[in-house]
Amino acid sequence: MLSFLSALPVPIISLTLFLRGFPETAGTPLPASSLPWVAAMVFLGFGFAYDATLRIANPIVFAIASIFVSLLAQGTVVALGVLVHRDFFSAIFQNLVAYLGLFLFWFYSHPVNRPQLRFLSHAGYGIFILFSQWIIMMGYAIVTRSEPRPIEALIYNSYNGFLDVFIIVISRGLLLRSRKTLTVGSEGVAVDGKAADYFLGKGSKALLLDFLEAEDHQLSCAAIQSQTFLKRSRNQGTASVICTGCDPMDTKATLCAAYRRTYNRIHELKKLLEFLEIGTIIPPKNKMRILSQGWKLMLFEGVRIERRNAPSPDRHPKLRPADGTGA
């Protein structure tokens, strides 16, 4: 679909000239009555050519084919501009932007490393800004009636607007693809679409979900212990027990067996997250406040969280950082 939409510059100009009319000279090789046929042939020919180019998987072959097809398209435009009407010259710029959009779309559709995707995304944003300025200038010329043929210019500029939207959408898509995605849902945890439940294990997965549901992604030992007791009591059908045995002011954390178990779980999850290049878990700067402040999950730059059919609140209730009452 995008291939054929990108092949519209010449057909739009051809049909506009056919419907609006233009003065023909005696030596014009293509009369106005033939322009619908020109529009159809160019639309189908370059639409299929663009589509075939996008299906090429090898980047080198794709680059060679892209250069050949783009030069052929521009040559067709120049020939029509010289032989038929100068309006066809405006398609040179439109073809260039359309093919840049298809070029970005190819990288979006094929496996490319993240830095390249980020660079292409920024390049796309740059193209969008420059092309938007051109559209605004053309619109200003139409509104102020400085454009001698405002109807034709309005039609051509409307297609420019479509190309501009296409560029910004695909640039945004490239930016999102350049980020690692942590997906959390009722079906489990996935990284870039690949299930990570087995790798994390049941305990680390549950702890990760608790961190993600906590305010500011921060949990204290008391909050983790309370959540553990809550799940255990729910599974065993017994009354829940809340960990309240530690006083952050006069308790040494390392002397608490529950804290040591929690610390080991945190350390294990930290190593798994760093291996997956998702994030890490950091303690407070002041280690004396470990009981009151606990640990914080820090996602790496470029990692985004995607929630799909999030687990029910009963399974993973939202936690808040502990107020320092217990470990």
Kindly state whether residues 23 and 159 are assigned to the same domain.
yes
Measure the CA–CA gap between 208 and 184, rounded to whole angstroms: 10
Going by their DSSP bridges, the two strands 180-185 and 303-308 should be labelled as parallel
Measure the CA–CA gap between 167 and 127, rounded to whole angstroms: 8
Kindly state whether residues 173 and 190 are assigned to the same domain.
no
- Residue that terminates a domain, selected from 123, 143, 178: 178
Helices 114-143/150-177 angle, 10° precision: 160
Kindly state whether residues 81 and 149 are assigned to the same domain.
yes
| HSE-CB of 185 using CA atoms within 13 angstroms | 13
pLDDT of residue 171: 92
Helices 90-109/114-143 angle, 10° precision: 150
Give CA 128 to chain center in angstroms: 16
Q: Is 287 exposed, middle or buried (0-12, 13-18, 19+ CB in 10 A)?
A: exposed
Kindly state whether residues 115 and 220 are assigned to the same domain.
no
Q: Is 166 exposed, middle or buried (0-12, 13-18, 19+ CB in 10 A)?
A: buried
Give CA 27 to chain center in angstroms: 52
Kindly state whether residues 164 and 34 are assigned to the same domain.
yes
The tokens describing 81, both together, are 């501009």
Q: Answer whether 325's CB lies under 8 Å from 222's CB.
A: yes
How many of the other CB atoms lie within 10 Å of CB of 56? 16
Kindly state whether residues 33 and 165 are assigned to the same domain.
yes
Kindly state whether residues 174 and 185 are assigned to the same domain.
no
Distances (CA, A) of 37 to 40, 135, 310: 5, 29, 54
Q: Answer whether 291's CB lies under 8 Å from 221's CB.
A: yes
Tell me, yes or no, whether 29 lies in a domain.
yes
pLDDT of residue 25: 57
pLDDT averaged per 10 residues, the chain (length 327): 87 87 64 84 91 91 92 92 87 90 89 82 92 90 83 89 93 84 80 80 85 84 69 48 56 70 86 86 79 82 74 44 38
Measure the CA–CA gap between 244 and 225, rounded to whole angstroms: 9
From the list 214, 9, 4, the residue with the least C-alpha distance to 96 is: 9
Kindly state whether residues 129 and 191 are assigned to the same domain.
no
Tell me, yes or no, whether 326 lies in a domain.
no
pLDDT of residue 251: 60
Q: Answer whether 69's CB lies under 8 Å from 50's CB.
A: yes
Beta bridge partners of 59: none
Kindly state whether residues 158 and 192 are assigned to the same domain.
no
| Number of domains the chain contains | 2
- Residues of the domain holding 237: 181-308
SS3 track for 287-325: HHHHHHHCEEEEECCCEEEEEECCCCCCCCCCCCCCCCC
Tell me, yes or no, whether 298 lies in a domain.
yes
From the list 159, 167, 131, 132, the residue with the least C-alpha distance to 43 is: 159
Distances (CA, A) of 182 to 66, 192, 212: 35, 6, 11
Tell me, yes or no, whether 314 lies in a domain.
no
Q: pTM for the full model? A: 0.63
Residue type, 2: L
Length of the chain: 327
From the list 117, 98, 110, 119, the residue with the least C-alpha distance to 166 is: 98
Kindly state whether residues 185 and 174 are assigned to the same domain.
no
Beta bridge partners of 279: 299
Tell me, yes or no, whether 327 lies in a domain.
no
Measure the CA–CA gap between 136 and 142, rounded to whole angstroms: 10
Tell me, yes or no, whether 94 lies in a domain.
yes
Using the 8-state DSSP alphabet, how is residue 29 labeled? Answer: S
Tell me, yes or no, whether 323 lies in a domain.
no
Tell me, yes or no, whether 153 lies in a domain.
yes
Kindly state whether residues 135 and 188 are assigned to the same domain.
no
Give the SS3 label for residue 192: coil
Measure the CA–CA gap between 2 and 277, rounded to whole angstroms: 34
pLDDT of residue 246: 61
Kindly state whether residues 82 and 96 are assigned to the same domain.
yes
